[in-house]
């Protein structure tokens, strides 16, 4: 058992299902305080967070992540108990192994190793940890960032421990994410008897051509870092359940995953234009879940690529694919942000697992990134 695996075991044994932390953050803060960090618990509503910092000068390099995990589902479906971590045939098994208690353990041990070797390092190192990433994400990282911004405490570079890798640890680094814009559309009709359609107005029939236009619309071309913007309908609901009643309302839930080639406001305007063209009577509620961000080549991306090459001997791919992460709250402050973590093939699944040796490799990557950026 290496130091990283020992810490991963301790964290994974805690039932920290969103928004519960179950003592994970206190364990991390104890380790960080011993390494010379000032630790600041920050609780908002029911969510535990903490900010820890070592040093006062710039640049400030931050490790960000979450201690909460998604529910396990029926534990009887797991090969091993999800909160009793163990190594089986070289694989670390249990909830949070990949997403993302394994990364948290690697971060802490990497920083401990770095500080022991470079006690007088340049700049500052910080941790921004939440227990609300897998949930609504309203009282976690976003609130900590607001607190930091209010006191003008700026993160220069941020490594998020989300599981970014595909086939082997470090083969993919996420240097950006697409934006997420959600909508709930309610098309209003007139309920009536199906035998007398002239006395009713069917919102399903009226909306169908408009929805087809939205699905077939070419929103943008994407660019070198982002695929073209995607519009997807995730749910349609209408009707009373009776076969002889024309419904009075249709509800459509949809989402845009969008590139930096278009803004959320532009997508809203174009959507309304299409709906209005079809003469619909409707209400539309929008939710911006996150804006797109991109960290191009610079100190952080270059250090990550070099560290992975030195530790593993292969080149890493830069990618903006996948869903949202808490990086969307940190990037708008002007910070360089990238995501580097273990393989993501089992995240949120039954029997979540990672190669045990990958966490030690990840520890070495994190430590080498710090050396490239802050070694005195």
Two tokens, residue 13 = 């044994």
Quickly state the pLDDT bin for 325 (edges 50, 70, 90): confident
CA separation for the pair 237, 241 (Å, rounded): 11
The per-residue pLDDT for range 103-137, each reduced to its tens digit, is: 999 999 999 999 999 999 999 999 999 999 998 89
Token digits of residue 62 = 């931050």
Alpha-carbon Rg for the chain in angstroms: 24
| Cα 173 to Cα 12, 113, 230, 337, 372, distances in angstroms | 24, 23, 22, 11, 17
pLDDT-derived band at 321 (thresholds 50, 70, 90) equals confident
* Arithmetic mean of pLDDT, 337-347: 96
Band (pLDDT 50/70/90 cuts) for residue 322 is confident
| Stronger pLDDT, 189 or 376, i.e. the higher one | 189
Task: Summarize pLDDT for 134-164 with one digit per residue, the tens.
Answer: 988 999 999 999 999 999 999 999 999 999 9
Is residue 374 within 8 A of residue 198, CB to CB? The reply is: no
Rounded (10°) CA dihedral 233, 239, 240, 246? 180
Question: What span, in angstroms and rounded, lies between the C-alpha atoms of 54 and 56?
Answer: 7
Q: What is the pLDDT of residue 243?
A: 96
Burial 352-361 (b: 16+ CB within 10 A, else e): bbbbbebbbb
Which helix (H) or strand (E) element contains residue 173?
A: strand 172-174
- Does residue 319 surpass a pLDDT of 80? yes
pLDDT in tens, 240-292: 999 999 999 999 999 999 999 999 999 999 999 999 999 999 999 999 988 89
Average of per-residue pLDDT values in the chain = 96
Active site residues: 68, 133
Q: Specify the DSSP class assigned to residue 34.
A: H
Crossing angle for the helix pair 3-12 and 356-374, nearest 10 degrees? 110
Which residue bears the tokens 């500080």? 115
Q: Is the pLDDT of residue 343 over 90?
A: yes
pTM of this prediction? 0.88
The pLDDT value recorded for residue 286 is 98
Q: What is the mean pLDDT of residues 66-91?
A: 96
pLDDT of residue 257: 95
pLDDT over 90 (residue 316): yes
**pLDDT above 80 for 376:** no
């Amino acid at each position: 058992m290496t130091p990283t695996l020992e810490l991963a075991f301790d964290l994974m044994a805690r039932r920290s299902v969103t928004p519960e932390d179950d003592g994970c953050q206190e364990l991390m803060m104890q380790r960080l305080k011993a390494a010379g960090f000032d630790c600041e618990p920050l609780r908002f509503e029911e969510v535990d967070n903490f900010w820890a910092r070592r040093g006062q000068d710039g640049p400030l390099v931050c490790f960000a992540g979450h201690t909460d995990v998604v529910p396990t589902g029926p534990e009887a479906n797991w090969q091993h108990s999800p909160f009793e971590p163990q190594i089986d045939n070289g694989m670390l098994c249990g909830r949070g192994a990949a997403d993302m208690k394994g990364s948290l353990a690697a971060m802490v041990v990497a920083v401990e190793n770095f500080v022991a070797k470079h006690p007088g390092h340049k700049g500052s190192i910080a941790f921004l940890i939440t227990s609300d990433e897998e949930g609504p994400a309203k009282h976690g990282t976003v609130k900590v960032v607001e607190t930091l911004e209010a006191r003008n405490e700026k993160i220069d570079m941020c490594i998020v421990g989300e599981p970014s890798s595909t086939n082997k640890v470090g083969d993919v680094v996420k240097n950006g994410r697409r934006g997420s814009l959600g909508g709930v559309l309610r098309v209003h009709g007139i309920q009536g008897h199906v035998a007398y359609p002239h006395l009713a107005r069917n919102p399903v029939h009226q909306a169908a051509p408009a929805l087809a236009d939205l699905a077939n619309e070419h929103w943008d071309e994407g660019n070198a870092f982002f695929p073209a913007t995607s519009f997807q309908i995730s749910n349609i609901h209408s009707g009373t359940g009776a076969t002889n009643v024309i419904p009075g309302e249709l509800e459509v839930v949809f989402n845009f995953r969008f590139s930096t080639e278009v803004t959320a406001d532009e997508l809203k305007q174009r959507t309304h234009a299409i709906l209005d063209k079809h003469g619909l009577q409707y209400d539309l509620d929008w939710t911006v879940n996150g804006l797109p961000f991109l960290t191009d080549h610079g100190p952080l991306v270059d250090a990550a690529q070099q560290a992975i090459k030195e530790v593993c001997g292969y080149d890493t791919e830069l990618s903006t694919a996948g869903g949202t992460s808490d990086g969307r709250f940190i990037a708008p402050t002007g910070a360089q942000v990238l995501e580097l973590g273990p393989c993501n093939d089992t995240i949120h699944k039954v029997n979540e697992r990672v190669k045990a040796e990958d966490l030690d490799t990840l520890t070495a990557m994190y430590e080498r990134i710090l050396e490239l950026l802050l070694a005195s």
